[in-house]
Chains A and B, each alone.
Chain A
């Protein structure tokens, strides 16, 4: 009974996974027949300043978006898990960004950030009326902000659910012992949330390797190459420059980095999460 699922997964996920490794050693323009190219693609990719720049930007986006999203999601999750009625209402509203596709979000922010007709000029604040997406110095920051805007809601949900599962007795005991809000936060909330923290961080870090649509519509990697992270580099090399071999090398790098990250983070969580869930059931 597992066969149909396995078959679909193998045909359109596992075989392509092997295929991408094979194609990284081939030369293909996207139309003809791929031909063997040896390590040529790898040499060209590893020495390409463009891809090197893309790898660096990907790293910045990965770390940057984690540094922005993780603390905010955690705090919002703790906040919305509270008892007051208005917090539940806020939690409902926090979900709203999730109803928009990445393309929709990118298009909305593109016009909202317009220096002449957007938010800055509407509020009359010059500091907000910058050429956000046209200035290479600013564009990456904007990308990080828009990523946070679209993904924090999801992670807030994860943390909210995590907090709700912390036994109230822990807090009651701590309060009897006279522990302050901070002590309770650091010595109960955070340790109790460790699985949520690992899960959410894994999703954020590995997920950052797949940010494509949002940035593609928002900046297309520009201005210049200022926001051209690896997934964009892969797409542009493959489907714009029709150098599928070299694009496959970038894809293999993405897969290896993603898999390594997942494994390392899973180890760091102390135990295998799946097993620990079974025991808790």
Chain B
């Protein structure tokens, strides 16, 4: 890997720094505004740090049920990811190990979900959820979220599990291990990086999801974070610092997650989407 590209990549470099500015300015603006006094929002320069920084906006947000919306998001995201991981690890194991036509067809069917914009099914999902009397419940968000996460999760896991040497399976099989033991003591430990990756990826999607909550819930106590940001915008009106404080708070858990699992997330994303 030495001595490749000795000359500086000028176009890339220029684009790199310009793009950094494009990325950073809006984020900086959000953070800096969130610590601004509401009264000075309209008088101070939007890009300069506030003369008198305050956490008042954050207090306003926390006093307006932010913790409730946060917990709703945690419940929906955690339950969805847990179920998705369990059913998808099993499914991927089956697809990789079984030579039956059924395994092949199931995989093909599930992959169809990647080629189709599933959001287009929102109207029948709304119909089903109301028929099941689940409308305006957290379960109404969890069930379709699980289904939508399955295709990409299975794809990433299958791609990863295919790299497990078949000799390992054979030797365990010789020792008389059944499917469940192989899953528990071979597949899950070996596929751990991929499992963590899909957990983060699916978690992000559910955490940030907007359409399901918008269509399938209505009362404030069932509100999840992305929807709450939208609602805050209506509630707080001109209190922009408070709205942007909510935006910052909603991103904070993901920032922490990213700091902890960056390598895994990045490597896994690319493993799933091909070489």
Interface positions of A (Cβ within 8 A of B)? 1-2, 4-6, 8-9, 11-17, 19-20, 22-23, 28, 30, 34, 72, 75-76, 78-80, 82-83, 87, 90, 92-104, 107-112, 117-119, 121-123, 149, 152-154, 157-158, 160-162, 165, 168, 171-172, 175, 181, 195-196, 199-200, 203, 206-207, 209-210, 212-213, 216-217, 231, 234-235, 238-239, 244, 247-248, 251-252, 254-255, 258-259, 262-263, 266, 273-274, 277-278, 280-281
Contact = CB atoms under 8 A, between A and B. Distances in A.
B274 interface: yes
B242 to A, nearest CB: 11
Given A9-B151, A149-B22, A101 B9 contact: no
A92 B262 contact: yes
A255 B211 contact: no
B240 A111 contact: yes
Given A13-B147, A101-B229, A5 B20 contact: no
Q: Helix, strand, loop or mixed for chain A's interface?
A: helix
B150 A8 contact: yes
16 contacts: A2-B107, A13-B150, A20-B120, A20-B123, A99-B254, A101-B226, A108-B244, A118-B46, A161-B269, A206-B117, A207-B117, A210-B118, A231-B117, A251-B122, A273-B274, A277-B275
A89 to B, nearest CB: 10
Interface stretch (B60-68, B86-94, B168-176, B190-198): B86-94
B87 A195 contact: no
Nearest to B258: A99
B39 interface: no
A55 B175 CA distance: 60
Contact of A280 (B1, B209, B275): B275
Interface in B88-117: 88, 90-91, 93-95, 102-103, 106-107, 109-111, 113-117
Contacts of A97: 23, 27
Interface residues of B, number: 103
A93 B106 contact: no
B230 A217 contact: yes
A99 B24 CA distance: 13
Interface string B240-259: 10011001001100110010
B9 A104 contact: no
Nearest to B154: A5
B144 A78 contact: no
Interface in B28-43: 29-30, 33, 41-42
Contacts of A217: 210, 230, 233
Contact of A158 (B154, B204, B215, B269): B269
Given A17-B121, A212-B119, A248-B123, A5 B91 contact: yes
